[in-house]
Structure 1
Amino acid sequence: MSSATQQDRLLHRKPPPNTPSPAPPFSALPLSARHQDSRLDKRDDDFATAQASSKSTSLLDKGFEDDVKDNPRIEWLFAGLIFLLAAAFRFWRIDHPAGVVFDEVHFGKFASYYIRREFFFDVHPPLAKLLLAFAGWVIGYDGHYEFENIGESYVDNKVPYIGLRVLPAILGSLVPPVVYGIMRESGYPRIVGVLSAALVLIDNAHVTQTRLILLDAPLVLFMSIAFYSYIRFHKLRYSEFTKPWWTWMILTGVFLSLTISCKMVGLFAFCTVGTAVVIDLWNLLDIKRGLTIEHVAKHFAARAFGLIFVPAVVYLFWFWVHFTVLNRSGTGDEFMSPAFQQTLLDSPLTLNAEEIRYYDTIVLQHRGTKAFLHSHVDRYPLKYDDGRISSAGQQVTAYKFNDTNNHWIVEPTKEIPETGRGRVVRQHDIITLRHVMTNTTLLTHDVACPTLATNTEFTTWDGVNEEQEQDTRFKIEIDDAHEGQQWMTKSSHFQLVHVGTRVAMWTHQDPLLPDWAFKQQEVNGNKNLKDKSTFWVVDEIIKDPNVTDRARPPPKEPKKVKSMNFFRKFFELQIAMLQHNAGLTDSHPYASGPINWPFLLAGISFWTGAGELRQQVYMVGNPVSWWLCVVALSVFVGVIGADQLAQRRGMTPIPKATRNRLYNSGGFFMLAWLYHYLPFFSMSRQLFLHHYLPAHLCSALVAGAVFHFIASETINYPISVAGPTTRRRPRQVAEVGKGMVVAVAVIVVALLAGYLFLAPLTYGFPGLDPEQVNRRRILSTWTLHYAK
């Protein structure tokens, strides 16, 4: 008989007939709190034996499970009450402020684009934004408003903003009950579940962020449900491949996918559960478990299906919805390839794209910076400030404004016919560009550019001789084009590659050229041909109304919308999202580093009211909640460290069952916190306090585990020097329970006091005078308005 089977039988063995029933109400404490007495009843002996026989070191182990099945109605009652309290905090004064608040300027606008079906670009996946758009569609919003500026009045612009805020508020109100459910399913008593839920429920940051038109409410909710589902799945590990086992595993995968479908940081939830799954599979592989390799492979295949394949399908589904809804040209066109843009209705590429022919006068625009290729009569200085010598040629720059100095004539380097299709410029053709206003030819050569000694200088010369002729030749490299494809305005993103040196024409905004070049953008030769920022586009063909071009056929009718494979569109958008997310490095007055977040060293000014009311919304957490969680994290690390040191010296200060609970449940929560916090230290993009909200929720779970360990399993548990020699009496159990209730009540009162003290900053109501504002600046690093 395998150890797993024997263990399962022991777990379900009925107690002897003379075994006294446990005393209510706090006998419902987890078994790990009662396995330390040598005079346990026979049922507990059997469970302890089964537990000792298990070699599993899973992050969710048997020590989690509660041996007393509470009345489900009571659990639902508690969860319902927590939800109602959370809703009360989030719905109070939800109509205020009646203007655009912080990132509502982005996500409200995206909801409008969805309703108008206009394609847009954002660094986040679509699900949370689709939910906001769906809420707008349900309440009859037509998407007319652009959400241009923070503070603009919703009332004046006739926006049903309350209805748009209701959905995030409902989803945010569901988070605390799920936190309660996580603690209960992890085997903790009800009072501990209430504590962890309260740390999230009565928190100013969570309330602020989940009552506005933002993405964090669905993100945090789906993450917490994913953790809840995984715990339910893991508890069924001895009922493998049953219908409930499959159900909870697939639900785990679905909610993990919903999490990452809201924001890319949902990947951290995948990492948390993925680590636990890998440990589980590693333990199943242990030969001492008595499982065949085929059986282990079956477990691996099941998890691959439920936790990889199903989430992938769900993730792809939301992008399919995204592409299906956004079928019209919009503000996001320029971030996508020409082939992608031509799949959109009313796309300029479809309506206005023209073939470029030799001797056409064109305007070239850099795809990344939107600056035009430009030249003027001024020349480079002969000697730069660093002592390097230039060619003293005519300056070639990139200029934000379109004028006649941006006009260039496309000239051939081979014989072409006077009329017909042979005059069309095509992929890989070699051309020269002549500047119209100065009648000079564009070239690059082996001279360093002004700001980058590694890149070549671009200039123009009048009267190019035979030796310089090779310096003026450029090859057209159209992105994702076949040989012989026409060079088109609008739709052809191309590189202008110098034939002689194999550098691509490039421009950049940092640094700009000095005053002698009027602080315009430098144009130089970039040796990295794989750099996507080297792409340009022809913005227009300049027509001379006085010249009849008999070689050019009359304009054709607009082309039909093209189709594109879903997976090509999906991967193109994914790459663009990742690139632009990493590129969000601009400074922001309220950006902050991860080291500040757990200690609330910085907040975010969301909104400031006009007039004499002195109202403001300042997003910052409840110091009681956040600092208590920091203490809990520190205590957890300290206890684990001390226990490990003690074990190295042959001592066992923590009983085995208690250690199982602390290491496995607390360890799982701690792992989740680490995954949702540490990666931000490696990011160079803009970061804000609200990025810590998922990690704060995980720290609230750790706080519950640490509180239970201290209040129930250490301080109040009578253990002699030689080991456990006395049985905990019902009176002792009741005393422990009363002590925990009192402690939680004190913490909740402190949470309420801290919350109400900062409530005027959370709701932007009522206004505060300078003295009241300064009184609420608990830390000097908080940047509050109206402090003077």
Structure 2
Amino acid sequence: MSSPQVRQRQGQKDKKVVTPPSSQAGDLNGILKDTKLPEAVKTEWDYKVALAIITVLAFITRFWGIGHPNEVVFDEVHFGKFASYYLQRTYFFDVHPPFGKLLFALMGWFVGYDGHFLFDNIGDSYISNKVPYVAFRAMPALLGALTVPTVFLIMWESGYSLPAAVVAAGLVLFDNAHIGQTRLILLDATLVYAMSMSILCYVRFYKMRHEPFSQKWWKWLLLTGVALSCVISTKYVGVFSFFTIGSAVAIDLWDLLDVKRKGGALSLPEFGKHFAARAVGLIVVPFIIYLFWFQVHFSILTRSGPGDDFMTPAFQETLADNVMSAQSVGVDYFDSISIKHKETKTYLHSHPDRYPLRYDDGRVSSQGQQVTGYPYNDTNNYWQIMPGDIIDPENQEPGHQVKNGDFVKLRHLVTDSYLLSHDVASPYYPTNQEFTTVALDQANGERYNDTLFEIRIENGKPGQQLKSVSGHFKLIHAPTRVAMWTHTTPLPDWAYKQAEINGNKNIQQSSNIWYVEEVPSIPKDSPRNIKEEKKVKTLPFFKKYIELQRAIFYHNNALTSSHPYASQPIQWPFLLRGVSFWTQNETRQQIYFLGNPIGWWLASSLLAVFAGIIGADQLSQRRGIDSLDERTRSRLYNSTGFFFLCWAAHYLPFYLMGRQLFLHHYLPAHLASALVTGALLEFIFNLDPVGLEDNVAHQQNPTPPNSKSAPSSSKGTKDRGGKRIVLPAKEAQSQLALWGAAGVVLTLVIGGWYFFLPLTYGKPGLDPEQVNARKWLGYDLHFAK
């Protein structure tokens, strides 16, 4: 499965192509050097005509009625909004890399859009808000249309017959899911196109393997790297494409070390050159391009915006008009403050109610005063920050700054009690510590140490003053070294379903971050409220990049909440459910994201057939039965196997993910399954029958090892150089069967596409009977009644 194998396609009537007996499967370049091909073979006009027709159809199916609906649809609320933020230069945060979103911003810039509309709600009108939405949608439609001829070119460059190439491209051309995802302001069209280009470029690179380090060899190697960079710069699932190409390259490099290979093994210095060239072209160059898009991202987004909250104060100080920097004030001892959790936005809160004697699991609590997280502003959110060595608050002088590393106490103003943590299990987390409060006499007596907390400012310097809003910190309990923490699961009714506050033993966890939101005790005329105009600071690129990467991966992993249209990987190949994108009650129109069931089921079936063929071939070889000739087996394992590896690499890893998953995650794998389908269709209907007859004859009348030729048992065949060949009549009959199979497949696929067309294009509206007729597997369609 090292790489796609290529061969001279069959089926050229009245054309004789002599293949040297010594040539191995895939040695197309050697064949072309030693053989004078007829002019018709060189031009391959039938492929070019088919490519032109397929390309035109791809543009028609993607662009027809692209202006409908003229409203915000599904995730256009995200990616349209991001394009507007780019044009406004307003900082935002997203879990995907910037390349695909930058393309939308580029299109908006081309048409003179200023980014005034923020795509807030599904159903918002583009017309009334004067948004050039057709231009935005044209970008993914263009890339989606180009994907179809790219699939055809992959099959063509891999040496497959015209029917096989047409079937593979047709499965993508007439697939409702690929069409639906490329007609909207979404990232998947960019991802799938870049993924298909990476495969095509690698096939072209592999075909140049007999001319290493030539100009064309370098060109296709570098273009493969550029395409791979575009994949991973659009979505991080692009790493699956790196695995696909990387696996093929690794096996190819392993073959270069084989002393039995044609031409002998490479010397270690020569092998080192091959390894270094691939490392530069497929790792270094893609990574540099990948970093470049982040540099563009940071260079454009220079103004404060909704993404500020995801970044550290140091990062936010690099943005103009940052509210955090503008509103922050230094915190002094004896200030009254409210403390807010950065991630959940809940306030540190307490009230007179106490923890119950026993929890639901039977554990006994301290019955202390409840300390909880509360989402709204309330007088019970106010705490007075005091020095840790205080004994008598009445004799202390204000004006001393709270600094990084200080040990403090927090006095709850309403109940006049002090925050405390101790070695008692919290309500929901038996491994975490309970937070409660105690009275002043206990706080200065036997519980003194338990009320001490260390202020640890994130990325703070020694002696740095704690500031409101911008000063993110962890509150570390002095005796037990746990960090104050909260989460989203609400407590039972006895705590009014407020959030649990507990002590987290993993103090390095990023969700332990809090900040002082306000300091209401400062008089309005206080000099502390006078703020100097601050200059925008700078940070090195790699510091900003690493911080953003951490935030992206953290929030990507946090996407675990349920969604009504989420689905599991086991459902995707069988197309068990889709996603509702848009509905309009007045016209009963809807866009329902769904693939072409005929095409998906066929492709999924042939994936299983391929695995079965490989298993049967392995078993037959174990039993001494060689059912395939060497050329056919090499092609099946290497070329079709490469496509199957591509499918597996883009599909199986999703089983390991715990985040939200949707049907569109299967689109790259579906494209790979279309390649497998085309290749396997050729194998099934164009299988060399002579090879089978030779093997049957060999089983019945074995030839001695030194015999120069096998016995002939096939009518309509003859020997050429010790090899059995198929006569033109046999070849034409095989090609006719293949065209017939291709015709049947495409007819069924086009029928499925047309039947589900109203759900893909959003028009015309369907009556209940028509809707129910399309609920083949219980798809949750609207307007079924």
Say whether the fold is shared (TM-score over 0.5).
yes
- Structure 1 position 690 matched with structure 2 position 668: no
1:661 counterpart residue number: 635
1:786 counterpart residue number: 783
Which residues in structure 2 correspond to 1:150-549 (within 5 Å)? 150-288=122-260, 289-414=264-389, 423-465=400-442, 466-510=445-489, 512-543=490-521, 545=523
1:675-717 CA-partner distances (Å, limit 9, x unpaired): 0000011111111111100000000000011011111124698
1:701-739 CA-partner distances (Å, limit 9, x unpaired): 000110111111246988353267514222332333233
Is the partner of 2:372 in helix, strand or coil? strand
Q: Report the more deviating stretch, 187-196 or 283-292.
A: 283-292
Counterparts in 2 of 1:718 and 1:418: CA distance versus 1, 3 Å: closer
- Counterpart contact for 2:158–2:639, Cα < 8 Å: yes
Match of 1:786, as an amino acid? F
Is the partner of 1:98 in helix, strand or coil? coil
- Counterpart contact for 2:334–2:386, Cα < 8 Å: yes
C-alpha displacement of 1:210: 0.7
2:108 counterpart residue number: 136
Supply the distance in 2 between the matched residues of 1:607 and 1:500 (Cα, whole angstroms): 56
Match of 2:683, as an amino acid? F
Supply the distance in 1 between the matched residues of 2:29 and 2:53 (Cα, whole angstroms): 25
- Counterpart contact for 1:443–1:459, Cα < 8 Å: yes
- Counterpart contact for 1:66–1:188, Cα < 8 Å: no
Match of 1:245, as an amino acid? W
Is the partner of 1:506 in helix, strand or coil? strand
C-alpha displacement of 1:386: 3.0
Which residues in structure 2 correspond to 1:92-131 (within 5 Å)? 92-131=64-103
1:294-326 CA-partner distances (Å, limit 9, x unpaired): 100110011111111000001001111111111
1:712 counterpart residue number: 686
Q: Report the more deviating stretch, 459-468 or 530-539.
A: 459-468
- Counterpart contact for 2:374–2:499, Cα < 8 Å: yes
C-alpha displacement of 1:353: 1.9
1:758 counterpart residue number: 756
> 4, 8, 12: which is aligned to 1:25?
12
- Counterpart contact for 1:350–1:560, Cα < 8 Å: no
Is the partner of 2:353 in helix, strand or coil? strand
C-alpha displacement of 1:388: 2.6
- Structure 1 position 557 matched with structure 2 position 509: no
Match of 2:488, as an amino acid? Q
Is the partner of 1:364 in helix, strand or coil? strand
2:771 counterpart residue number: 773
RMSD after superposition: 2.4
Q: Report the more deviating stretch, 714-723 or 164-173.
A: 714-723
C-alpha displacement of 1:191: 2.2
C-alpha displacement of 1:558: 2.6
Supply the distance in 2 between the matched residues of 1:23 and 1:637 (Cα, whole angstroms): 25
- Counterpart contact for 2:690–2:726, Cα < 8 Å: no
2:705 counterpart residue number: none
- Counterpart contact for 1:361–1:410, Cα < 8 Å: yes
- Counterpart contact for 2:404–2:466, Cα < 8 Å: yes
1:626-657 CA-partner distances (Å, limit 9, x unpaired): 11101211111111111111111222111000
C-alpha displacement of 1:355: 1.3
Match of 1:274, as an amino acid? G
2:53 counterpart residue number: 81
1:744 counterpart residue number: 742
Supply the distance in 1 between the matched residues of 2:9 and 2:154 (Cα, whole angstroms): 24
1:392-448 CA-partner distances (Å, limit 9, x unpaired): 22211110001221111111124899889x711111001111112222111111222
- Counterpart contact for 2:9–2:160, Cα < 8 Å: no
Supply the distance in 2 between the matched residues of 1:525 and 1:392 (Cα, whole angstroms): 17
Is the partner of 1:468 in helix, strand or coil? coil
Supply the distance in 1 between the matched residues of 2:522 and 2:455 (Cα, whole angstroms): 25
Counterparts in 2 of 1:497 and 1:375: CA distance versus 1, 3 Å: same
Supply the distance in 2 between the matched residues of 1:625 and 1:205 (Cα, whole angstroms): 11
Which residues in structure 2 correspond to 1:715-726 (within 5 Å)? 719-720=693-694, 721-722=696-697, 726=717
Match of 1:533, as an amino acid? S
TM-score by length of 1: 0.90
> 561, 566, 569: which is aligned to 1:586?
561
2:63 counterpart residue number: 91
Unaligned runs of 5+ in 1: 1-10, 13-20, 29-39, 53-60
Match of 1:267, as an amino acid? V
Supply the distance in 1 between the matched residues of 2:673 and 2:166 (Cα, whole angstroms): 15
C-alpha displacement of 1:66: 8.3
Q: Report the more deviating stretch, 464-473 or 601-610.
A: 464-473
Is the partner of 1:51 in helix, strand or coil? coil
Q: Report the more deviating stretch, 331-340 or 313-322.
A: 331-340
Counterparts in 2 of 1:202 and 1:316: CA distance versus 1, 3 Å: same
Supply the distance in 1 between the matched residues of 2:408 and 2:45 (Cα, whole angstroms): 79
Counterparts in 2 of 1:389 and 1:621: CA distance versus 1, 3 Å: same
C-alpha displacement of 1:463: 2.1
Supply the distance in 2 between the matched residues of 1:51 and 1:744 (Cα, whole angstroms): 28
C-alpha displacement of 1:81: 2.3
- Counterpart contact for 1:90–1:207, Cα < 8 Å: yes
> 579, 583, 606: which is aligned to 1:608?
583
1:31 counterpart residue number: none
Match of 1:292, as an amino acid? S
1:601-628 CA-partner distances (Å, limit 9, x unpaired): 11111111122x2111111111121111
Is the partner of 1:370 in helix, strand or coil? coil
Match of 1:244, as an amino acid? K
Instruction: Count the aligned residue pairs.
Output: 741
1:626 counterpart residue number: 600
Counterparts in 2 of 1:209 and 1:717: CA distance versus 1, 3 Å: farther
C-alpha displacement of 1:51: 2.1
Supply the distance in 1 between the matched residues of 2:208 and 2:155 (Cα, whole angstroms): 17
- Counterpart contact for 1:350–1:558, Cα < 8 Å: no
Counterparts in 2 of 1:84 and 1:23: CA distance versus 1, 3 Å: closer
Supply the distance in 1 between the matched residues of 2:333 and 2:148 (Cα, whole angstroms): 67
Is the partner of 1:490 in helix, strand or coil? coil
Q: Report the more deviating stretch, 64-73 or 325-334.
A: 64-73
Supply the distance in 2 between the matched residues of 1:718 and 1:27 (Cα, whole angstroms): 25
Supply the distance in 1 between the matched residues of 2:472 and 2:529 (Cα, whole angstroms): 24
TM-score by length of 2: 0.91
- Counterpart contact for 1:342–1:350, Cα < 8 Å: yes
Match of 1:631, as an amino acid? S
Supply the distance in 2 between the matched residues of 1:446 and 1:756 (Cα, whole angstroms): 67
1:179-224 CA-partner distances (Å, limit 9, x unpaired): 0000011011222111110000001111001110000111000100
> 19, 24, 27: which is aligned to 1:51?
24
Percent identity of paired positions between Structure 1 and Structure 2: 52
